[in-house]
Every structure is written in structure tokens, then in C-alpha cells.
């Protein structure tokens, strides 16, 4: 009986040792796998950092192999920075860019702007165009939004557009629906030169966007809400 108990204790101790060894092996294997995964991730990131693409700077701008900008998605959920209106009836019946312009910037770029007062590499700004609808309402006479009519975008990317002034490129998907799914950048002379001469901050018309003016660092935000 004593001999049986001795064998039982030895067997139980052996099981504990085996269990410990198994747990230790599993732990070491997991750590090795994580280290390998981390190494692979670093290599992937390094590869992206050395190639042209939106992944490098986490930009929402997506391009195809022909360097055409795909129509952005979800921009109405971005940060709204301002709305302007250039009605046709105040511009000899045909405004250059009619009529309402709702302008949005991606969240990451807006946060960067609030911290630095600069537009980061990868910034994307989208302008959605709408027609003037009614001109009378219960609140009085005015210009009220009608239907969606067009879409434009601007992207700052020093690797993709190193020769463009300010590294900004401008895109137009059309002035009426249906819009184009992808477009190439507009010639520098059509958009960039105007922005360079007239925009207040880094090729962006911040003078027309109160949500940018009032959130720029070291500037009064007394009118911001």
C-alpha cells in the first residue's frame, strides 16, 4: 500500500511538471509569434513608408494605379468647416462655381490643424455643391439649399504631388449628377495658381471657413461654439 502511494505521488508530481513545461512552452511560443508578427508589421509599415500611397500618412484619399482619385466616401460625416453661396442671380446668371458649397475636412487633418495651425501631409478637403432652391421661407427671403449638383476635392500629398505648388492637387467629379467615380488632378493653372495667390493659409481659403479660423492655435476662439 505504501509503495502504491509513493508511485501515486510520483505520478502526480510528474503530471505537474509536464503541465508546467507545457504552459512554459506555450508562453514562449506565443511570445515568439508576437515578436515575429511585430517584425512583419514593421516591415510592412516600412514598405508603405517608402512607396507612394495614402497609407503612408493615413489619408482618406484613395488613388488607383493611374493616379486618379476615387470618389470619397463618408465625407458628410467629416468636420464641416464652412458653407458659402455664390448664387447665379448675383453672378450674371452663371457663377463660376454655383451655388452652395458645403466644405468638409477629414477628422485627423482637422485635429492636426487645431494642434499646429498647419495642414498635414495627407489632408483631404471636399467641397459638395448644391443648387439654390427656394428663395422664400417662414423666416424671410433668402437663399435656401436645393439639390446636390456637384463634387470637388483637394488633397495635399508631398510624395504623390511633389511638383504641385504646396503639394496640393485639385479634383472635380462633375457639376451635375451622375458624378464620375474617379478623376485625374486638374491642371495647375486651373485651380492651384488661384489658391496660391488668394488663399490665406497654405493654399486653403481659411478666411471663408470660420471653423478653421476659430480653431487655429494662438487665435481667439471667442466666437467658436
Residues 92 and 116 in one domain: yes
Residues 6 and 60 in one domain: no
Residues 45 and 60 in one domain: no
Rounded Cα–Cα distance for residues 155 and 132 (Å)? 27
Mean pLDDT of the 188-201 span: 90
Residues 140 and 79 in one domain: yes
Residues 67 and 108 in one domain: yes
Residues 60 and 45 in one domain: no
Q: Is residue 24 part of a domain?
A: yes
Lowest mean pLDDT among 34-48, 61-75, 149-163, 204-218: 34-48
Query: Which residue range(s) make up the domain with 31?
Result: 1-50
Residues 32 and 103 in one domain: no
Residues 16 and 71 in one domain: no
Q: Is residue 219 part of a domain?
A: no
pLDDT at position 193, please?
A: 84
Residues 131 and 142: beta-carbon distance below 8 Å: no
Q: Is residue 39 part of a domain?
A: yes
Residues 43 and 74 in one domain: no
Mean pLDDT of the 3-26 span: 52
Residues 59 and 45 in one domain: no
Mean pLDDT of all residues in the chain? 82
Q: Is residue 220 part of a domain?
A: no
pLDDT at position 43, please?
A: 44
Q: Is residue 204 part of a domain?
A: yes
Q: Is residue 225 part of a domain?
A: no
- Write out pLDDT tens, residues 88-119: 999 999 999 889 999 999 999 999 999 999 99
pLDDT at position 192, please?
A: 81
Contacts of 179 (CB under 8 A, 6+ apart): 71, 150, 151, 173
CATH number at residue 159: 3.50.70.20
Residues 42 and 87 in one domain: no
pLDDT at position 222, please?
A: 39
Residue 51: which pLDDT band, with cuts at 50, 70 and 90? very low
Q: Which residue among 10, 35, 50 closes a domain?
A: 50
Between 148 and 58, where is the model more confident? 148
- Write out pLDDT tens, residues 113-165: 999 999 999 999 999 999 999 999 999 999 999 999 999 999 999 999 999 99
Question: ∠157-85-130 over CA atoms, to 5°?
Answer: 75
Residues 105 and 114: beta-carbon distance below 8 Å: no
133: Cα within 13 Å, side-chain hemisphere:
9
Q: Is residue 218 part of a domain?
A: no
132 to 54, 81, 93, 222: CA distances (angstroms) = 35, 20, 12, 31
Residue 218: which pLDDT band, with cuts at 50, 70 and 90? confident
Q: Taking 70 as the threshold, does the pLDDT of residue 216 lie above it?
A: yes
Residues 130 and 185 in one domain: yes
Q: Is residue 64 part of a domain?
A: yes
What is the number of domains present in the chain?
Answer: 2
Amino acid at each position: 500500500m505504501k509503495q502504491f502511494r509513493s508511485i501515486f505521488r510520483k505520478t502526480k508530481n510528474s503530471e505537474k511538471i509536464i503541465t508546467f513545461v507545457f504552459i512554459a512552452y506555450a508562453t514562449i511560443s506565443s511570445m515568439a509569434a508576437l515578436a515575429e508578427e511585430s517584425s512583419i508589421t514593421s516591415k510592412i509599415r516600412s514598405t508603405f513608408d517608402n512607396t507612394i500611397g495614402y497609407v503612408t500618412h493615413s489619408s482618406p484619399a484613395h488613388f488607383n494605379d493611374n493616379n486618379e482619385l476615387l470618389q470619397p466616401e463618408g465625407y458628410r460625416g467629416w468636420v464641416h468647416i464652412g458653407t458659402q453661396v455664390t448664387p447665379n442671380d448675383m453672378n450674371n446668371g452663371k457663377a463660376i462655381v454655383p451655388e452652395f458649397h458645403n466644405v468638409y475636412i477629414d477628422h485627423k487633418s482637422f485635429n492636426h490643424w487645431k494642434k499646429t495651425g498647419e495642414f498635414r501631409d495627407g489632408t483631404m478637403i471636399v467641397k459638395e455643391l448644391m443648387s439654390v432652391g427656394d428663395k422664400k421661407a417662414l423666416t424671410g427671403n433668402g437663399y435656401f439649399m436645393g439639390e446636390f449638383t456637384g463634387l470637388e476635392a483637394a488633397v495635399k500629398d508631398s510624395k504623390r504631388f511633389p511638383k504641385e505648388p504646396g503639394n496640393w492637387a485639385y479634383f472635380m467629379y462633375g457639376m451635375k449628377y451622375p458624378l464620375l467615380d474617379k478623376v485625374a488632378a486638374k491642371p495647375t493653372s486651373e485651380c492651384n495658381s488661384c489658391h496660391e495667390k488668394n488663399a490665406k493659409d497654405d493654399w486653403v481659403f481659411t478666411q471663408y471657413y470660420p471653423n478653421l479660423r476659430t480653431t487655429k492655435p494662438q487665435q481667439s476662439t471667442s466666437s467658436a461654439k
